[in-house]
Amino acid sequence: MIPGINRPSAVHVSKTAVLNNYHKIKDALPEGTKVLAVVKADAYGHGAVPLSLALSESGVDGFCVAISDEARELRQAGIIEPLYILGLTPAEEAWNLAQEEIGVTVSSLDYLKKVIALAPNQVDHPLLIHLKADTGMGRIGLNQAEDLQILIDFISDHQDYLQLESVFTHFATADTVSDYDQEIMNQQNQAFQAIRAKLDFSQLKQHPFFHQSNSALSLWHPDLTLDAARLGIAMYGVNTTNYDLDLPYSLEAALSLTTEIVYCKKVAPGQTISYGATYQAESQEWIATLPIGYADGWPRCMTGFEVLVDGHPCPIVGRVCMDQCMIRLPHHYPIGTPVTLIGHNKDKVIAVEDIAKYANTIGHEILCGLSNRLPRIYH
């Protein structure tokens, strides 16, 4: 989808806010903790390349992405720090990734055997391996230390080709607040510590590092951080719990979403607005059209949500269209009047968390859904 540079709808990203959040979280972690910036999904819609370059200059220890294409994009942009792919990659890609020193997640012995079968006679760089332990997420990974040890032994037998960099896990309930969820989190932590205690790395040339902390664990349970922390949504200034938990310290929202009024009209009582005629004016009303819709990632379910015009909350009326939506104004505003959908407008603010709660989802989905038809403007 081509960016719409000739219309007024745009995403604004503060690199300063991201860096401030990064430093604040890093300073609150145990001394010596490596910080891995999670920039998958185009840095949660913020723009992976510009933010990774800024974080690189600020001394981040490495980057995590979801797929190999994201990793290559960063290498091609000049990122030289360690890059880790959190998802699984085809064995056929392994040696190209090794050449670019991009680490891969491994969850099975069959994968490693296939990688070795595909290996060239000589390699310039060993394939960097990150073993995934499944302690309760139920997504990918091995849940027994004995099974992980089999992979470690296989790696130790092929050290000209394979290098173990880390062993890691991912928590399912670190950002939820019920007693049940906290018990699950504690069980996962205990399971990973038990696995860690059983693993033998004595035949490896170097010992791997361990990591289990995501944004939620880094914020609310920094004491559970191991050698490294993976910072994602928190680095962009979003409360991963949608306000269910208060942040332990303030973070700056890095992203705002703005547009302008492109059409404004007075409608008579009884006139209907948008598809399905679901909204009917109760009196004479000023209705403005905004050039943004669900093709831009503004959810169709946002009917009734209030955006900001000149500091005034103005409800979206009628159904959100693919490319446009309509709002009810308190009075006439001229074409070109700024409208805030996310961010500050005079003394009011709309947070990503507000939108997520209204849409019955999480901030991650809202941010990742903002399409690349919305230009990113960096400050």
Catalytic residues: 40, 275
User: Identity (one letter) of the amino acid at 251?
Assistant: L
Contact in structure between 329 and 300 (CB atoms under 8 Å): no
Ramachandran quadrant class, 189 (left: phi over 0; alpha: psi -120 to 50; beta: rest)? alpha
Structure tokens at 242: 């949608």
Q: Where are the beta strands (DSSP E) in the chain?
A: 10-13, 34-38, 62-65, 83-85, 102-106, 127-132, 162-168, 209-213, 228-231, 255-260, 263-267, 272-273, 279-280, 285-290, 306-309, 312-317, 325-329, 338-345, 348-350, 376-378
Nearest to 262 by CA among 241, 233, 287: 287
Contact in structure between 14 and 344 (CB atoms under 8 Å): no
Helix (H, G, I), strand (E, B) or coil at 80: coil
DSSP string, 117-177: HT--SS-SSPEEEEEEB-SS--SSSB--HHHHHHHHHHHHHTTTTEEEEEEE---SSTT--
Asked whether the CA dihedral 22, 225, 211, 363 is positive or negative, the reply is negative
322 annotated as belonging to a binding site for a ligand: yes
DSSP 96: H
Name the binding residues for substrate: 139, 322
